């Protein structure tokens, strides 16, 4: 299908009113106005009627960064890697990975999202096109910056196409410097699986790259600044997803409240214990109930079963089932940034991110 048939958002053109911005950043309207003054931030004004302020996404993420720089957020004692994974398709993994990355950056944390799925869904959700070349985009009158030319594999030196590209040639910044950063993917990410299979220590390559890049030891790729790295994985078990599991501190698993999804999770408990035997460590699970329908008896029964298996690892925050998700996607927006979303749905992700930050902070400590 041609991309022509999809709505393509221009993230640089969207504007938000101050009350929505306050909601997104979880601060009061007077605080927003104060930060704006302190930062001498230039905010557009509506030209007709009441000249209210209209904030761009770059404005919003700049305010988040200002809060960080001024010590208004708690800093983590060390950087943390999260891998969103479960061996089940269509259970909102990518929705969770993308919106969590957005929320962490709104909370002031420097966040890198790595699309580790050759389907490139996280990449598409953030406005890029894994299927079209620069020439095709230009022909369609679309900016060439929407094209995906490199993926995570290109940061490695395995020979062939993998020559250790510069991070700057790989990374995308859909909401400006202070928004989340993305390492995109396209179907050629499959080649990374082949390269990993043939490499020494094939399950440990992501972990080693992150470790060295965070210490500033790689000339092409410095990741020292990021508080959070998040991998979005495919539903299948590839060498690349195994790598992301070995590299991470936390495995974030969305669970739909139906019998098969909940049952599928008992496999996760098993694979985590096998993982522990194989690698001498296992990531801590964070289980997120999603597509939740509060009133259904079935939902309650499945939730009880989930709590039995994972107990304190299940988040108190739940993501409810809502038509806002497909509607936001139709307009090309992640739900957290879609103006048409009901505030309750948009804020659920903020509450989830707050809870996840608190859980991680109590494990790794504050700087
Ligand atoms: N809370 C929700 N309520 C309703 N629909 C949702 C919700 N969360 C996600 N969806 C929808 O579910 C579909 C699948 O979501 P998503 O692509 O995130 O799943 P996935 O697990 O990453 O899939 P895959 O296994 O293909 O990688 C999408 O159409 C998304 O909009
Ligand atoms: Mg996905």
At 265-320, the pLDDT tens digits run 877 888 888 889 988 889 999 999 999 987 778 888 888 888 988 889 999 999 99
Distance in angstroms (rounded) separating the CA atoms of residues 94 and 96: 5
In terms of DSSP H, where are the helices of 248-296? 259-279
Q: Which pair of structure tokens corresponds to residue 60?
A: 């919003």
The residue whose C-alpha atom lies closest to atom 25 belonging to ligand 1 is 89
Distance 31 CA to ligand 1 centre (A): 35
pLDDT at position 5, please?
A: 60
Ligand nearest to the CA of 328: 1
pLDDT at position 1, please?
A: 42
Distance in angstroms (rounded) separating the CA atoms of residues 175 and 181: 8
Pocket lining: 336 vs ligand 1, CB cutoff 6 Å: no
Distance 222 CA to ligand 2 centre (A): 27
C-alpha separations of 274 from 34, 205, 270, 292 in Å: 52, 20, 6, 30
Q: Which pair of structure tokens corresponds to residue 209?
A: 């790259």
Distance in angstroms (rounded) separating the CA atoms of residues 63 and 50: 23
Atom from ligand 1 closest to the CA of residue 345: 1
Choice from 95, 258, 261 to test ligand 1 binding pocket (greatest atom count within 8 A of CB)? 95
Q: Are 14 and 56 in contact (CB under 8 A)?
A: yes
**Backbone φ/ψ region at 168: left (φ over 0), alpha (ψ -120 to 50), beta:** alpha
Q: Which pair of structure tokens corresponds to residue 100?
A: 């969590």
Ligand nearest to the CA of 125: 1
Ligand nearest to the CA of 253: 1
Low-confidence ranges of the chain (pLDDT < 50): 1-3
Distance in angstroms (rounded) separating the CA atoms of residues 60 and 218: 32
Pocket lining: 349 vs ligand 1, CB cutoff 6 Å: no
Q: Which residues contact 354 (CB under 8 A, 6 or more apart)?
A: 26, 107
In terms of DSSP H, where are the helices of the chain? 18-25, 29-39, 57-69, 93-106, 121-125, 134-139, 167-170, 190-198, 205-214, 239-247, 259-279, 297-310, 324-330, 343-364
C-alpha separations of 50 from 45, 47, 53, 334 in Å: 9, 8, 9, 29
Pocket lining: 219 vs ligand 1, CB cutoff 6 Å: no
Q: Are 285 and 245 in contact (CB under 8 A)?
A: no
Taking Cα atoms as reference points, which of 243, 229, 219, 241 lies closest to residue 183? 229
Pocket lining: 94 vs ligand 1, CB cutoff 6 Å: yes
Distance 124 CA to ligand 1 centre (A): 13
Q: What is the pLDDT of residues 87-106, one digit of tens each?
A: 889 999 999 999 999 999 99
Pocket lining: 302 vs ligand 1, CB cutoff 6 Å: no
Distance 168 CA to ligand 1 centre (A): 30
The residue whose C-alpha atom lies closest to atom 14 belonging to ligand 1 is 90
Q: For residue 42, with 0-12 CB atoms within 10 Å meaning exposed, 13-18 middle and 19 or more buried, which class applies?
A: exposed
Q: Are 97 and 234 in contact (CB under 8 A)?
A: no
This model's pTM is above 0.85: yes
Q: Does domain 3-7+75-364 have CATH number 3.40.50.720?
A: no
Taking Cα atoms as reference points, which of 250, 153, 244 lies closest to residue 203? 244
């Amino acid at each position: 299908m041609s991309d022509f048939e999809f709505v393509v958002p221009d993230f640089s053109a969207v504007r938000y009113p101050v009350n929505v911005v306050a909601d997104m950043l979880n601060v009061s309207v007077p605080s927003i106005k104060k930060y704006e003054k302190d930062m001498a931030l230039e905010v557009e004004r509506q030209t007709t009627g009441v000249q209210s302020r209209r904030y761009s996404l770059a404005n919003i993420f700049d305010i988040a960064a200002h809060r960080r720089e001024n010590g208004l957020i708690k800093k983590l004692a060390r950087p943390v890697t999260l891998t969103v994974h479960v061996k089940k398709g269509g259970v909102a993994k990518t929705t969770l990975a993308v919106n969590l990355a957005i929320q962490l950056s709104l909370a002031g944390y420097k966040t890198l999202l790595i699309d580790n799925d050759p389907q490139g869904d996280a990449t598409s959700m953030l406005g890029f096109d894994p299927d079209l070349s620069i020439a095709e985009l230009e022909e369609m009158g679309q900016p060439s910056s929407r094209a995906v030319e490199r993926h995570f594999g290109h940061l490695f030196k395995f020979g062939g196409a993998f020559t250790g590209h510069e991070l700057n040639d790989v990374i995308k910044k859909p909401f400006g410097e202070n928004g989340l950063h993305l390492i995109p993917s396209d179907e050629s990410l499959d080649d990374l699986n082949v390269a990993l299979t043939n490499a020494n220590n094939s399950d440990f390559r992501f972990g080693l790259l992150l470790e060295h890049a965070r210490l500033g030891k790689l000339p092409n790729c410095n990741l020292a600044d990021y508080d959070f790295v998040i991998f979005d994985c495919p539903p299948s078990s590839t060498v690349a997803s195994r790598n992301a599991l070995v590299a991470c501190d936390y495995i974030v698993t969305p669970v739909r409240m139906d019998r098969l999804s909940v049952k599928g999770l008992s496999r996760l408990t098993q694979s985590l214990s096998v993982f522990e035997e194989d690698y001498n460590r296992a990531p801590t699970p964070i289980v997120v109930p999603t597509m939740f329908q509060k009133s259904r008896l079935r939902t309650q029964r499945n939730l009880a079963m989930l709590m039995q298996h994972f107990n304190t690892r299940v988040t108190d925050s739940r993501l409810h089932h809502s038509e806002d998700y497909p509607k936001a996607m139709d307009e090309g927006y992640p739900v957290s940034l879609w103006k048409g979303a009901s505030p309750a749905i948009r804020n659920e992700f903020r509450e989830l991110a707050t809870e996840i930050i608190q859980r991680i902070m109590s494990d790794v400590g504050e700087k």
